[in-house]
A and B are shown apart, each in its own frame.
Chain A
Amino acid sequence: MPKLTAKSATLLVLAALIAVTPFFFPSGYYYRIGALIFVNGLAVTGIVILTGYAGQISLGHAGFAGIGGYACALAPTHLGLHPSLAVVLGAVISGVLAYLVGRPILRLKGYYLAVATLGFGILVSMVLNNERRLTGGPDGIAVPELGLRGLLKDWGLDLTNGEFWYFFCGLVLLIGAWIALNLHQSPSGRALRALHGSEIAAGTVGIDVARVKLQAFVISAVYASVAGSLVALQNKFITPDVAGFMHSIEMVTMAVLGGAGSVLGAIFGAGILTLLPQALTVFAEYEQLVLGLVMMLVMIFLREGLLPSILRKLRGRGE
């Protein structure tokens, strides 16, 4: 039974944080930051599946976020799709692209995926920047209203824009975390973690290593895509920055900082790296410097990531 509790405990902690934190918000602005943390947390949960479970590194996941985001901008105007269906369309396109990019690459051992995804991310970003007539270029493009808030209002639940996106993104994050935790203890997830431990041994127990790596890559691409869609819908605007190289690095950094092997840890990492720039606005010029320093210190002294290391310390004290 302890396995079951670990999963429910993670979800409970997450749900409690989402529900309780707003009581401490000094102003409505903080709902926005909260929602941003949840969206980043969602993308990073996908990284947990790819990097934490399967041990593969992608340096182009922002490309999928870009696809998800621009799907919400373009599909409603050009295809007449409802924005919610645009989210699904973006996720499908991202999944298919991940499959096409990953299939030839993941047959190879080593760091080919990192390099190939790096190229993929840059490609998506270039297309978004240069296809001005379609995407609006570097200036970005407007995204239609999701419309769910109005629907809730008709049902008698009147939320401010900030509140709505805070709770909506929180809910999506909870679902994303639930799915990732399901995977962890499932046969498919075990196969992913097995190949992370030893690809040779994974092969001898009959795991088709290339195939399950591809599964992880596609699933994590869908997470990034949905996160990109949520950012676009919330801001009602999107720029190619969402698909930029820095955003890809940020995702990996958040996961590794918090603890790529644990869903809660990675979301914790997303929280810290989303809040830190807010806290560091005073030293805006040194922001990158401080981030780099924090990252180095964590990698040197807390290699499992912040949260797992802290929990281990606490547990050690308890015994």
Chain B
Amino acid sequence: MTLLSVEGLGIAFGGIKAVHDVSFKVEPGEIVSVIGPNGAGKTTLFNMISGVYQPGSGRVVLEGEDVTGMAPFRLAQRGMSRTFQNLQIFQNMTVLENAISGFHLQEKGPVLADLLHLPSSRRRARAADAGARKLLARVGLERAADREAGNLSYGSLKRLEIARALAMKPKVLLLDEPAAGCNAVETEEIDHLIAEVAASGTAILLVEHDMKMVMRISSHIVVLDHGEKIAEGAPAEVSRNPAVIAAYLGTEEGADADG
């Protein structure tokens, strides 16, 4: 059974087809990258898969179950997690608390036990705390644990968001431009982290502008242009594909249509 299967997904905003009839599959341990010029519909596609937008057409199937348009928290319960291009950090919390929040599904319990500080509540919180510290160490943020999340650098916040997503031990992890705004060293760190996570069996769906990174780590690449899939395949195949080259470099007719 395919882990994640995207079948003919499409959405239109005010009559304009932002994404049209996109299909691909993701298997455990794979790193599938979605690339394409600005405005190609990559983030829109992500938002449909992760339940932020309701698709106009098509299906999203997770482990054989139709999860099309399901609320993000239900997808999370089924093992899908994501990060955001424009960061969604809990700014009102410490770095550690942000990471602990990723353990929500594991640490949640009866609210009455939490109100009365019962041993069961403390046990759950302690387990999440320990797990979160380990994850922070893994992304190199252990020393920032008690800082206000809002005070962190952009690159650190990116890693914190990944740590929070990893806390859920997702089966599928959607990463929307994890390396955007990061310097070369940080990009390489994130690069290693992603490869490591995939090696542990998690499927990764990646949107990324850093082509070097995409070519290096992807097992499979899906190319979008103007909301449609124009090519798909292994990195080497895709980089030789004339349609892809035209979309990126622009042809006579495509040059000004992109905006």
Q: Do A and B interact with each other, yes or no?
A: yes
Bound-state CA distance A202–B91 (Å) is 12
Interface residue? B50 (CB, 8 A): yes
Bound-state CA distance A261–B108 (Å) is 22
Which of A20-28, A141-149, A184-192, A292-300 lies at the interface? A184-192
Given A186-B117, A197-B92: A191 in contact with B108 (beta carbons within 8 A):
yes
Interface residue? A158 (CB, 8 A): no
Bound-state CA distance A201–B72 (Å) is 9
Which of B75-83, B183-191, B223-231, B247-255 lies at the interface? B75-83
- A187's contact among B72, B89, B114, by CB below 8 Å, is which? B114
Nearest B residue (CB) for A180: B115
Bound-state CA distance A182–B71 (Å) is 30
Bound-state CA distance A186–B100 (Å) is 11
- Best-buried of B77, B81, B90, B101 by chain A (most CB within 10 Å): B101
- Docked-complex contact B90 and A201, CB < 8 angstroms: yes
Can you list 6 residue pairs at the A/B interface with Cβ under 8 Å?
Answer: A191-B101, A194-B93, A204-B165, A205-B101, A205-B165, A205-B168
List residues of chain B with CB within 8 A of the CB of A197. 89-93
- A179's contact among B77, B115, B125, by CB below 8 Å, is which? B115
Interface residue? B116 (CB, 8 A): yes
Question: What are the interface flags for B88-111 relative to A under an 8 Å C-beta threshold, 1 for contact and 0 otherwise?
Answer: 111111000100111011011101
- Docked-complex contact A187 and B128, CB < 8 angstroms: yes
Which of A38-46, A166-174, A207-215 lies at the interface? A207-215
In the complex, besides A187-B108, A202-B73, 17 extra interface pairs with C-beta distance below 8 angstroms are: A179-B115, A186-B114, A186-B117, A187-B107, A188-B114, A193-B90, A197-B91, A201-B90, A205-B167, A206-B76, A206-B77, A206-B104, A206-B105, A207-B73, A207-B104, A208-B73, A261-B92
Interface residues of B in 100-151 (CB under 8 A from A): 100-102, 104-105, 107-109, 111, 114-117, 121, 124-125, 128, 146
- Docked-complex contact A188 and B91, CB < 8 angstroms: no
Interface residue? B59 (CB, 8 A): no
List residues of chain B with CB within 8 A of the CB of A261. 92
Interface residue? B171 (CB, 8 A): no
Interface residues of A in 257-278 (CB under 8 A from B): 261
What is the total of A-B residue contacts with beta carbons within 8 Å? 108
Interface residue? B42 (CB, 8 A): no
Bound-state CA distance A198–B92 (Å) is 9
- Docked-complex contact B88 and A187, CB < 8 angstroms: no
Interface residue? A219 (CB, 8 A): yes
- Docked-complex contact B100 and A190, CB < 8 angstroms: yes
Interface size on A, as a range, is 20 to 34
Nearest A residue (CB) for B82: A204
- Docked-complex contact B165 and A194, CB < 8 angstroms: no
- Docked-complex contact B71 and A196, CB < 8 angstroms: no
Chain A interface mostly: helix
- Docked-complex contact B101 and A190, CB < 8 angstroms: yes
- Docked-complex contact A215 and B93, CB < 8 angstroms: no
- A182's contact among B101, B115, B128, by CB below 8 Å, is which? B115
- Docked-complex contact B93 and A182, CB < 8 angstroms: no
List residues of chain A with CB within 8 A of the CB of B100. 190
Nearest B residue (CB) for A2: B146
- A183's contact among B76, B108, B114, by CB below 8 Å, is which? B114
- Docked-complex contact A206 and B73, CB < 8 angstroms: yes
- Docked-complex contact A205 and B105, CB < 8 angstroms: yes
A192 to chain B, nearest CB (A): 10
Bound-state CA distance A200–B52 (Å) is 8
- Docked-complex contact B92 and A193, CB < 8 angstroms: yes
Interface residue? B84 (CB, 8 A): yes
Bound-state CA distance A187–B92 (Å) is 16
Nearest B residue (CB) for A186: B114
List residues of chain B with CB within 8 A of the CB of A190. 93, 97, 100-101, 104
B160 to chain A, nearest CB (A): 11
Interface residue? B159 (CB, 8 A): no
- Docked-complex contact B108 and A204, CB < 8 angstroms: no
Interface residue? B164 (CB, 8 A): yes
Nearest A residue (CB) for B116: A182
Interface residue? A203 (CB, 8 A): yes
Nearest B residue (CB) for A197: B90
List residues of chain A with CB within 8 A of the CB of B114. 182-183, 186-189
- Docked-complex contact B116 and A179, CB < 8 angstroms: yes
Given A193-B92, A194-B93, A204-B76: A187 in contact with B124 (beta carbons within 8 A):
yes
- Docked-complex contact B90 and A198, CB < 8 angstroms: yes
Bound-state CA distance A215–B110 (Å) is 11
- Listed from nearest, the 3 A-B pairs whose CB atoms lie closest are A197-B90, A206-B76, A186-B114
List residues of chain A with CB within 8 A of the CB of B105. 205-206
List residues of chain A with CB within 8 A of the CB of B125. 185-187
- B93's contact among A179, A193, A209, by CB below 8 Å, is which? A193
- Docked-complex contact B102 and A205, CB < 8 angstroms: yes
Given A186-B125, A188-B114: A209 in contact with B90 (beta carbons within 8 A):
no
- Docked-complex contact B109 and A205, CB < 8 angstroms: no
